[in-house]
Structure 1
């Protein structure tokens, strides 16, 4: 199943995310400390600067690290921290080359169950448990990758009808709802921190 993602909010960038498993993984990797749209536009920008229609794990893994960092740092930068993120993207691609012959979709293609898929995702460089659960939820909700127990393995992000993460964004309305959820979660976390300090 090929989804129609709306994470970059740019048609050409979203088209790449929708057809390229590696682009979706790289976008998820970049989705930290920058706005979501910026992160998920990153794979398209990288492909464009490499002069390619898609991302290739073998090409990125073998790229000169300094040249690749410069590629991500060129304006407009692919990330707020282009140097460190360039290293992480290359690390991810090297792992995919070593473990899956560069085939990103192989990470989830034959996973027998949700927990196995979660384990495979958390093994990816740059993917902590939360990021892995969000990506698992994205696979289940929008890519049709639904091994038994996928919702349970994705934790709260797998809940039907939730608006917690990128997994739930299918257009402008759901984007607004996810933003509102995240802002409220931040507000509650700050309030809890203040209450803890006061105590």
Structure 2
């Protein structure tokens, strides 16, 4: 299954449930290819893709999303949406986004 033309981005989406969940979240108000590649680019910019760390770092997530080229047009809202999702994954699903 391909979500983007980038094999590494596709692999992350298929192997990491939190990345897939993030792609779903990003897939609003931007082209699908851009939305589904965002988790991979975000992981590169953050140096990780750990929902526990993301849940505690709204400022870092905002900065990573806003870096040129922006990962989403809603650079203020997206961190306010993603961080609570990561927090919920940690508190309600034991860090396993695949359990949703």
TM-score range, shorter chain: over 0.9
Q: Is 1:8 aligned to 2:4, yes or no?
A: yes
**Is the partner of 1:81 in helix, strand or coil?**
coil
* Structural mapping, 1:92-131, within 5 Å: 92-107=85-100
TM-score, scaled relative to structure 1 = 0.49
* Structural mapping, 1:78-89, within 5 Å: 78-89=71-82
Which consecutive residues of structure 1, in runs of 5 or more, have no partner in the other structure? 108-199
Counterpart-to-counterpart distance in 2, 1:99 and 1:12: 29
Counterpart-to-counterpart distance in 1, 2:60 and 2:21: 21
Which consecutive residues of structure 2, in runs of 5 or more, have no partner in the other structure? none
Counterpart-to-counterpart distance in 1, 2:60 and 2:93: 25
Q: Confirm or deny: 8 A CA contact 1:27 1:42 kept in the other structure.
A: yes
The total of aligned residue pairs comes to 100
Q: How far is the alpha carbon of 1:91 from its aligned partner?
A: 1.1
Equivalent residue, structure 2, for 1:74: 67
Q: How far is the alpha carbon of 1:100 from its aligned partner?
A: 0.7
**Is the partner of 1:32 in helix, strand or coil?**
coil
Task: Please provide the CA RMSD for this pair.
Answer: 1.0
TM-score, scaled relative to structure 2 = 0.93
Q: Which 4+ stretches in 1 moved above 6 angstroms? A: none
Equivalent residue, structure 2, for 1:62: 56
